[in-house]
Structure 1
Amino acid sequence: METTTSTKIKPQVHDLSTFKQIMESRSHPLDMLREGISNMMAPEIGASELRIQHYSHPEYNASFILKDNGIGMSYTGNAENPGRLDRFIGLAFSRAAGLSADYWGWKGLGSKLMLNCNKLVVETWTGNPDEKFIILNIINPRSSLLSEPPIAPDYYLTQRDSLPSDHKGTKIEVLGYDGGKKMYSMEEIERYLYWNTALGITKDISHKPQIFLKVNSEEKNLDIGFKYITTQLLDDGSRDWRTVVIENPISKSEKVIIDGKEREIKVTLKGGFTLDTGKFGLSPYRYNTGLRLSVKGIPYFQFPFYEYKGKKFQQYKDLCSFVVECDEIEPKLNLDRSNISNQMGDDPIVKTFKKLTSKCFDEFTEVDQYKEFEKNKRKEDERNKASAVRKRQAALSKANQEYACVETDEGTKVIHRVPDNSEMHTLCIFWKLEALGRLPFENFITWEHTKKDGIDVIASFQIDDESSLENFVPVEFEATFENFINHGHNPKQTKCIICWEIGNKSALRKISDFLYYYDIDGTSIPVYEIKSFPDVKIHNYSEIS
């Protein structure tokens, strides 16, 4: 008789493999700083001072030191009752695991990014004379965990009685970070801190420790808070319409049902846009334009701007610096918090968040400042267009401006100004000559002009009365012959080359003043120089005005 047994089992986790994946799952090399600052700045830590130092260690090269004077970390060695150091060493001791955690401690994975170094040293003390001063050394974590297969680095924990010289708080030395290969400048680190970490927090917070950043010998005291676009005033005290900000944050909310329970999703839009991006250092190369997601005040990453801004807001993303806050989206962030995991799926929280963000932008387009901007921008665009036309008029009427002309019984007929390395100007001159019957061909008919498939013109032509007719063949136009070579055209797909001028005529076989042949790869292509056509004359404006 068969017997059936049922046993409760527990899944096994390969911690080392998970550690390796976390170390490799980062969108920016400095994400380690983002997680470190979140830990140090957390209100539960109670630190009044944070210090970040980046320097070249004599043995390990590029390294970091993170230091705070907060409550320190205790160690219990008990997974059921972990201390702060247990959580730092271990994996996923966080709110996502159902444990109590600090304000920003959702997944409990961030501190593992510090293991991407050659040596990690943690010194910590709670300030309680009855508790031990703890020193943790982790040897070769980077090479150990990134090996195939990953192996466990060596952890050495030292606990001693506190000394009068000890200070409450935690000091973490990340020696040889990322292999010690990359030294960052003050500007690079400061920019990252403000646009990606709790240093650039988008909300008002009551707990604001002093933060010092030191890079080599240079040190700065950094103010806490996001670098918002601010309203600009003119000399007369009136508001400059070129910069538009959301004076009062725009919020939208909606209730959704998740697993049978009602949850409220709230989205708040802040920021603005400006035509004077230089005043605020906005640049796509600085990763500070467009729209950023802020969760619990941390501006984690940029969103695909045009997918979230709705249909009414029309400003270009590189002029913008917006923040959309939504704490309810926190569980939907991916492992390294560089994106939303189910952004294109049907998750109700994500879909609601996206919809509410678009509604916030729609409301922004209804405020008076935005409408005033659009009105003034249209006027400025029209003035700029008029100014551009006047500049062109002035240039065309300069005494030395050259024009391609033909001589007729009625006198000199102006065709077009001499091309300024312009293929379209070259085409214009040629077609006018074709219409006037002034081309040095026996026959020439332009059937079509297109940029499709790299072919300029489909034409039929006959060079002279002794030549055969080339019917419906590709003809390439260039301002200069050399552009034909520079553009990488296939000579075997070209029956004729027509250009305004030939720069180096010695490279071609001359037939007449205006006709040459380009001999290449067993192919001979006729090359026509328009400026040398018999009927074409070049005159200055002063001669024809």
Structure 2
Amino acid sequence: MTSTDSTKIKPKVHDLSTFKQIMESRSHPLDMLREAISNMMAPEVKASELKIQHYSHPEHNASFILKDDGIGMTYTEDTDNPGRLDRFIGLAFSRAAGLEADYWGWKGLGSKLMLNCNKLVLETWTGNNKDKFIILNIINPRNSLLSEPPLAPDYYLTQRESLPSDTKGTKIEVLGYDGGQKMYSIDEIERYLYWNTAVGITKEINHKPRISLKVNSEEKELEIGYKFITPQFLLDGKNDWRTVVIGEPISKSNKVVIDGNDKEINVTLKGGFTLDTGKFGLSPHRYNTGLRLSVKGIPYFQFPFYEYKGKKFQQYKDLCSFVVECDEIESKLNLDRSNISNQMGDDPAVKAFRKLTSKCFDEFTESSSYKEFEKNRKKEDERNKAAAVRKRQSALSKPDQEYACIESNGEIKLIHRVPDKSEMHTLCIFWKLEALGKLPFENFITWEHTKKDGIDVIASFQIDDESSLENFVPVEFEATFENYINHGHNPKQTKCIICWEINNKAVLRKIKDYLFYYDVDDTSIPVYEIKSFPEIRIHKYSEVS
């Protein structure tokens, strides 16, 4: 018999490779600020003031300074009892690892985003004279970790006795962030902070430190709290129906079985929608529309709106600003907290979350404010349609409005208004002339028209009695001949071009006043200009009314 030995082993982690992957795992370049603020604003830090500064460093260019007056950091070098600086330097010291952590510290990975810089300088002190004042320098972390293979940056830790001039808290200088290549405006950073970080927290919190943001010489204080849509009022004091807000947050819950244990999933929907998006600065380009997921109050990212809103809520995404809160989904977030892992899979917690969110939207559609909006929106749509018709009627009856007409034997027969860059108007005029037998062709029959990509019409035509019949061939219609070239049509797939007018006839070979040839790619295509057809005349409304 062969003897077999079993040995207990531990998996090894290549820390540098992991650091590199975390540093590169971000959905937005400013995600570093999101994680830094989560650390600084955590209730456990007890900071009364936070300062965020963005400036151009004389050596490293675009840089950040992050400062708080909280409890500071300690360094223990004990993995079983890590200090705050141990957690900052190390990897995955968090609740996910079974350790005690701050309110928002789930994975213990966020601080690694700060390593995407040319140099990091950290100064910290607890305010206790028994504790050392600590200075940490990390040299060239970005280039070291992004190299192939990744190299370890140089870490220099200095500990000294505290001085009377030292202040409690932590200051982190992130010099040459992201290579120092991009300077952000104060509006760009403020917008990101409110829509993606704890500065825009969606829940009420007891601990609200003062937060100041400074970009170069411009500075402002930021009021903590999400920028929700708020009710709007008319001059008579009544609610403006164009803005609809969830008054009392809508909450749903359900129990699911995970690994044999019952777990309750709680979902709360907040926010609203508005036709007056400019009042709230809503724009898809600002990433502040649709639906955002908030975990423990932090609005992390946008959800695919139409997959979560249910079937009853019918408003367009870019009119909406909703937040769905669900703390139980925290463990399901992916590495950079930009989405839910396995979002479309069979995870019971995720599936329950999706269904509960849809139910919240369904309940919202039953509210009186939503139903009132639907009623008023339909009325406004009808009024707008009527106004649009009146506007068209007014334009058509202006004395100088031009019309294409047939003039024969002293009689003027109105065909259609002159096309205004409209291919459909061109087709309309041509088809009326075809029906009246007024086309300068020996024969022409329209068999089919399509709005789809490709040539507009399939037709049969004969130019004159000496020409052969072109049967079931592609004919392209344009308002102007130049559009045919601009649209990139293939000349070899076109047997005839019909347009209202030709702006530059010099590029064509003239046969008659209304008939030209376009010679291109060893192909000659007949080009007809409708406005020059023999019996076509252009008259103003005042002449034909």
Residue of structure 2 equivalent to 1:415: 415
Structure 2 counterparts to residues 515-530 of structure 1, below 5 A: 515-530=515-530
Residue of structure 2 equivalent to 1:47: 47
Residue of structure 1 equivalent to 2:254: 254
- CA distance in 2: counterparts of 1:410 and 1:351, whole angstroms: 76
Residue of structure 2 equivalent to 1:371: 371
Encode CA deviations 1:443-484: one digit per residue, 9 max, x unaligned.
000000013341100000000001000000000000000100
- CA distance in 2: counterparts of 1:409 and 1:331, whole angstroms: 85
Residue of structure 1 equivalent to 2:33: 33
Residue of structure 1 equivalent to 2:442: 442
Residue of structure 2 equivalent to 1:541: 541
Residue of structure 2 equivalent to 1:113: 113
Encode CA deviations 1:293-330: one digit per residue, 9 max, x unaligned.
00000000000100100000010010000000000000
Residue of structure 1 equivalent to 2:465: 465
The yes-or-no answer on 1:129 pairing with 2:136 is no
Structure 2 counterparts to residues 426-441 of structure 1, below 5 A: 426-441=426-441
Encode CA deviations 1:515-538: one digit per residue, 9 max, x unaligned.
111111111110000001111111
Residue of structure 1 equivalent to 2:344: 344
Residue of structure 1 equivalent to 2:305: 305
Residue of structure 2 equivalent to 1:234: 234
Encode CA deviations 1:217-251: one digit per residue, 9 max, x unaligned.
11111000000000001111111000000000000
The yes-or-no answer on 1:329 pairing with 2:329 is yes
- CA distance in 2: counterparts of 1:235 and 1:64, whole angstroms: 45
- CA distance in 1: counterparts of 2:411 and 2:327, whole angstroms: 78
Residue of structure 1 equivalent to 2:289: 289
Residue of structure 1 equivalent to 2:102: 102
Encode CA deviations 1:336-363: one digit per residue, 9 max, x unaligned.
0000011111111111100100000000
Q: Which amino acid aligns with 1:262?
A: D
Residue of structure 2 equivalent to 1:278: 278
- CA distance in 1: counterparts of 2:333 and 2:177, whole angstroms: 25
Q: Which amino acid aligns with 2:374?
A: E
Residue of structure 2 equivalent to 1:483: 483
- CA distance in 2: counterparts of 1:494 and 1:201, whole angstroms: 60
Encode CA deviations 1:246-280: one digit per residue, 9 max, x unaligned.
00000000000000000000000000000000100
Cα RMSD (Å): 0.8
Residue of structure 1 equivalent to 2:11: 11
With the length of structure 1 as denominator, give the TM-score of the two structures: 0.99
Q: Which amino acid aligns with 2:289?
A: T
The yes-or-no answer on 1:184 pairing with 2:184 is yes
Residue of structure 1 equivalent to 2:356: 356
Q: Percent identity?
A: 84
Residue of structure 2 equivalent to 1:390: 390
Residue of structure 1 equivalent to 2:83: 83
- CA distance in 2: counterparts of 1:334 and 1:2, whole angstroms: 46
Following superposition, the deviation at residue 2 of structure 1 comes to: 1.8
Encode CA deviations 1:150-191: one digit per residue, 9 max, x unaligned.
010000000000111111100000001001111000000000
How many residues matched? 545
- CA distance in 2: counterparts of 1:342 and 1:327, whole angstroms: 17
Encode CA deviations 1:189-227: one digit per residue, 9 max, x unaligned.
000000000000000000000001010011111000000
Q: Which amino acid aligns with 2:318?
A: D
- CA distance in 2: counterparts of 1:156 and 1:453, whole angstroms: 64
Paired residue secondary structure (1:464): coil
Paired residue secondary structure (1:66): strand
- CA distance in 2: counterparts of 1:321 and 1:464, whole angstroms: 64
- CA distance in 2: counterparts of 1:347 and 1:321, whole angstroms: 27
Following superposition, the deviation at residue 409 of structure 1 comes to: 5.6
Q: Which amino acid aligns with 1:498?
A: I
Following superposition, the deviation at residue 410 of structure 1 comes to: 8.5
- CA distance in 2: counterparts of 1:496 and 1:58, whole angstroms: 66
Per the alignment, do residues 163 and 376 of structure 1 end up closer, same or farther by CA in structure 2, a change over 3 Å counting?
Answer: same
Q: Which amino acid aligns with 1:389?
A: V
- CA distance in 1: counterparts of 2:121 and 2:77, whole angstroms: 18
Q: Is the 8 A contact 2:267 2:324 kept in 1?
A: yes
- CA distance in 1: counterparts of 2:506 and 2:354, whole angstroms: 64
Q: Which amino acid aligns with 1:481?
A: F
Following superposition, the deviation at residue 78 of structure 1 comes to: 1.1
Q: Which stretches in structure 2 are left out of the alignment for 5+ residues?
A: none
Following superposition, the deviation at residue 60 of structure 1 comes to: 0.7
Q: Which amino acid aligns with 1:25?
A: S
Q: Is the 8 A contact 2:57 2:175 kept in 1?
A: yes
- CA distance in 2: counterparts of 1:221 and 1:400, whole angstroms: 58
Q: Is the 8 A contact 2:408 2:535 kept in 1?
A: no
Paired residue secondary structure (2:248): coil
- CA distance in 2: counterparts of 1:123 and 1:452, whole angstroms: 65
Q: Which stretches in structure 1 are left out of the alignment for 5+ residues?
A: none
Per the alignment, do residues 332 and 473 of structure 1 end up closer, same or farther by CA in structure 2, a change over 3 Å counting?
Answer: same
- CA distance in 2: counterparts of 1:118 and 1:516, whole angstroms: 66
Following superposition, the deviation at residue 35 of structure 1 comes to: 0.2
- CA distance in 2: counterparts of 1:245 and 1:197, whole angstroms: 23
Structure 2 counterparts to residues 449-460 of structure 1, below 5 A: 449-460=449-460
Paired residue secondary structure (2:35): helix
Paired residue secondary structure (1:225): coil
